[in-house]
Structure 1
Amino acid sequence: MITIGLPKGRNLGPARAALAAAGLNLDGLDSSRLRQRFPDQSVLGTPVEVLLLKDWDLPLYVEHGIVDCAIVGSDVLEETQPDVFWPLQLKDGRSRLSLIAETPELPKRSGQLRAATRYPNWAARLLAARNLHVEVIHLTSSIELGPLLDLTDVAVDIVQTGGTLRAHDLHEVEVLAAVAPTFVVNRASFHAHRRRLSGLLGALEETETGGE
């Protein structure tokens, strides 16, 4: 049996669609249940157990072998840097990590800028690569409130449609990185179940790239 971790929230839809297109039949998946089993899958040749977990927790479950593989947001992977294989990004469910401010350009100030984000490690790396020396303030939600309430000068956060920015009269100053649901595999599991997991990865690659 292969155990697959799927994310609760915004990445669940793209994850289910990608697996279905690759031949993994998860009909009847109940998003309110933690653990569910499905009979033999032709793409894997074995039954599948699905664990529905929070996106931020999934890398740890993959790294420690609780699940053999999973689909996780690349933003979470970039922030947590787990010791797992990251072989494929999905084409659906993509977004971007952007630098956000109350003005179309970075605010001018004599001292160091402050940036609110839920990704302190990743944001610090991206901003340093642009020679922006910024004090990073870690917030866990409502990141846009950082600049709006003068806690910080800017925010670094995920942007999908831009609706939240428009609602708060904020501006997307610069796109820092692309974000996508990402297929990841436990290293030991990949060796123990190489044929089955390689088959699933190959099927995903075929559907995600159109055979290119």
Structure 2
Amino acid sequence: MSEILTIAMPKGRIFEEAAELLRKAEYKLPPEFDESRKLIIDVPNENIRFILAKPMDVATYVEHGVADVGIAGKDVMLEEDRDVYEVLDLKISACHLAVAGLPNATLTDVAPKVATKYPKVASSYFREQGEQVEIIKLNGSIELAPLIGLADRIVDIVSTGQTLKENGLVELEHICDITSRLIVNPVSYRMKDQVIDELVERLSKVIGG
């Protein structure tokens, strides 16, 4: 009997795409897997345990070893800087990080205010551009910040651009492309190398990596 592999997965869109990817890699996940509201789901026939978490928490679970591997967006990896191995680009949940704002807004401040839930990424980006900005950390509804005068610009994830459009905002600068990555706890990689290597190999075949 092979050892149990614990995988941390984010809820939402990434979860759905990752579950489909695992099925294509011939992991037999039960039909009710997708509808389950449980936070821990055991799949005994595959010797896998899934932990469902908020996207920003997946890398934390993997770093601390409560999960052997995880699926995390590159945006999380750039922002969190966790002690994990990034072993595979899963090429799912593609989007990008961008600077956005009101279309005709003039930036008169010496240090424009930028609202974001990615303060580290935003600070680094504007520093590289030679711009001095004031970062305002928000956890949600980032698009609201320019509309109520809290910030001049925002840095956020853009997928279709529909949310920006609906709130009267436009994309001003493209920062970087984002996809979901398979990440591994360094200790688990040594202790469970065979089962993790098998996971990587099976997923690689499916995504053409």
CA contact (8 A) 1:8 1:31 kept: no
Give 2:41's aligned amino acid. Q
Distance 1:134 1:147 in 2: 15
Could you list the runs of 5+ residues in structure 2 that have no partner in the other structure?
A: none
Aligned twin of 1:18 = 21
Distance 2:110 2:124 in 1: 20
Aligned twin of 2:170 = 171
Q: CA deviation at 1:57?
A: 1.3
Distance 1:40 1:21 in 2: 16
The question of 1:147 aligning with 2:152 is answered no
Give 1:33's aligned amino acid. K
Aligned residues: 204
Give 1:75's aligned amino acid. D
The question of 1:182 aligning with 2:187 is answered no
CA 128–31 in structure 1, closer or farther in 2 if over 3 Å, else same: farther
- CA offsets 1:140-182 (integer angstroms, 9 cap, x no match): 1110111111111100001111111111111101110111111
Q: CA deviation at 1:15?
A: 1.2
Could you list the runs of 5+ residues in structure 1 that have no partner in the other structure?
A: 42-46
CA contact (8 A) 2:107 2:152 kept: no
**TM-score with structure 2 setting the length:** 0.92
**TM-score with structure 1 setting the length:** 0.91
Distance 2:136 2:123 in 1: 10
Give 2:36's aligned amino acid. S
Distance 2:23 2:173 in 1: 35
Q: CA deviation at 1:183?
A: 0.8
Aligned twin of 2:38 = 33
CA 24–107 in structure 1, closer or farther in 2 if over 3 Å, else same: farther
The question of 1:197 aligning with 2:196 is answered yes
Aligned twin of 1:95 = 95
CA contact (8 A) 2:102 2:170 kept: yes
- CA offsets 1:20-47 (integer angstroms, 9 cap, x no match): 2222222231430011211333xxxxx1
Distance 1:192 1:50 in 2: 19
The question of 1:2 aligning with 2:1 is answered no
Distance 2:162 2:86 in 1: 30
Q: CA deviation at 1:110?
A: 4.3
RMSD: 1.5
- What's the secondary structure of 2:13's corresponding residue? coil
CA contact (8 A) 2:14 2:92 kept: no
CA contact (8 A) 1:6 1:70 kept: yes
Structure 1 stretches of 4+ moved >6 Å: none
Distance 1:117 1:70 in 2: 24
Identify which range, 13-22 or 23-32, moves more after superposition.
Answer: 23-32
Identity of aligned residues (%): 33
Aligned twin of 2:130 = 131
- What's the secondary structure of 2:110's corresponding residue? coil
Distance 1:178 1:73 in 2: 10
Distance 1:110 1:57 in 2: 35
CA 7–31 in structure 1, closer or farther in 2 if over 3 Å, else same: farther
- CA offsets 1:102-135 (integer angstroms, 9 cap, x no match): 027x733141111000011111112212222211
Distance 2:138 2:88 in 1: 29
Q: CA deviation at 1:184?
A: 0.5
Aligned twin of 2:118 = 119
Identify which range, 124-133 or 152-161, moves more after superposition.
Answer: 124-133
- What's the secondary structure of 1:96's corresponding residue? strand
Aligned twin of 1:44 = none
